[in-house]
Amino acid sequence: MTDLAHPLRSAETRPAYVGPSPDEPGWGPIAELLTGAYRESGFAGGVSQVPLDRMVHDMLSARRAEEQISELRRCGDLDGKRILEVGSGCGSLLVYGRAVHGLDIHGIEPGSQSDFSTTMAVCHRLLDHHGLSHEVVRAASGEAIPHPDDSFDIVYSSNVLEHVGDPAAVLAESIRVLKPGGTLCFVVPNYGSWWEGHYGVLWLPHMPAWLAKLYVRALGRDPSYVDTLNLVSRGQMERWLAPHRDRVEVLDWGWSVFEYRLSTLDFSEWAALSVTKRVATMVHRFGLLRPVLWLARRLHWETPLILTLRKRR
């Protein structure tokens, strides 16, 4: 197998999906894996009200992967850079980055654990579709990254830290494998803000887990999912980073992205984000944009948090 396939395609020739399209034979088995996992876990219906077929299409969307590539480019030029994705999930970003953009991107996903076996199986099928080696994704957790110190120019993670067993350890390991001068970018839901994306509902900032469970139960959702989440806030992340303050420089928390999206309403509607857009539209309609931004900046309501830091040389 090759390490890269069809690299650097033009926008006109890029696929609509990371793997097979819905009219190709390979789509069915992948869609069945994802549909079965969403149903068996109770996520579909119990947690999220997004239609199941839309979840599958969103997960495999090339446009969504392209947006993550754009997010990665905020770390700088990606050409010639060695990139690690912590928590590759179904592999959409990793596979798309290699197959379409020719990026040297690697991943880890705890695929040997039963809860993650489906995501690794889907990832392998997507890799096979593009003739890519399975070795670019290793079965491992973020608390024990199987790479030497100073291995990667960029370490990236999106919507993973809220699901791990030990967030502080994942951050420490990610900093360890980052090269001096390298950039880390972690996208994390902000539970100090007004939005919860898994349930797709408005949220009370810094709501404790016990109250959150009562809240989602009142909305007719499964409260047990709250127990699987780390309710991350910017203050918590700052505490987790404190032991590394001499080794890293925090560059950004994602404020400019949040401000732009809220001000322009220019953001995609993946999963339940269509609800967010309706709320943001109401903020504009009632002339509340300036006071909301003023409060949001002072109370750290930006969501998601986009932690960007550089490892000191």
16: helix, coil or strand? coil
Whole-model pTM over 0.85: yes
Q: Which domain holds residue 212?
A: 11-311
Which pLDDT does position 113 carry in this prediction? 60
Q: Is residue 182 part of a domain?
A: yes
DSSP string, 247-305: TEEEEE-SHHHHHHHHHH------TTHHHHHHHHHHHHHTT-HHHHHHHHHHHT--SSE
Q: Is residue 87 part of a domain?
A: yes
CA atoms of 267 and 261, how far apart (whole Å): 6
- State yes or no: pLDDT of 214 exceeds 60: yes
Q: Is residue 212 part of a domain?
A: yes
| pLDDT band at residue 1 under the 50/70/90 scheme | very low
Q: Is residue 128 part of a domain?
A: yes
- CA 215 to each of CA 162, 207, 294: distance values in angstroms, whole numbers, following the listed order: 19, 10, 27
pLDDT digits (tens, 9 = 90+) for 168-198: 999 999 999 999 999 999 999 999 999 999 9
DSSP string, 76-100: S--TT-EEEEES-TTSHHHHHHHHH
Q: Is residue 4 part of a domain?
A: no
- The strand order across the sheet containing 82-86 reads 137-139, 104-109, 82-86, 152-158, 178-188, 305-311, 248-252
Q: Is residue 33 part of a domain?
A: yes
Q: Is residue 3 part of a domain?
A: no
CA atoms of 255 and 206, how far apart (whole Å): 18
CA atoms of 160 and 68, how far apart (whole Å): 14
Once rounded to an integer, what is the mean pLDDT over residues 133-156?
A: 97
Q: What angle do CA 135, 13, 187 make, to 5 degrees?
A: 55
Q: Is residue 6 part of a domain?
A: no
- In the chain, the number of structural domains is 1
| Contact indicator for 66, 33 with CB cutoff of 8 Å | no
CA atoms of 126 and 26, how far apart (whole Å): 9
Element (H, E) at 61: none
Q: What is the domain-level CATH number for residue 254?
A: 3.40.50.150
Tokens read off for 272: 């339940």
Candidates 242, 248, 106, 227; CA nearest to 176 is: 248
If phi > 0 it is left, if psi is from -120 to 50 it is alpha, else beta; for residue 292 that is alpha
Phi first, then psi: what are they for 125, rounded to 5°?
-65, -40
pLDDT digits (tens, 9 = 90+) for 63-88: 999 999 999 999 999 999 999 999 99
- State yes or no: pLDDT of 275 exceeds 50: yes
Element (H, E) at 73: helix 62-73
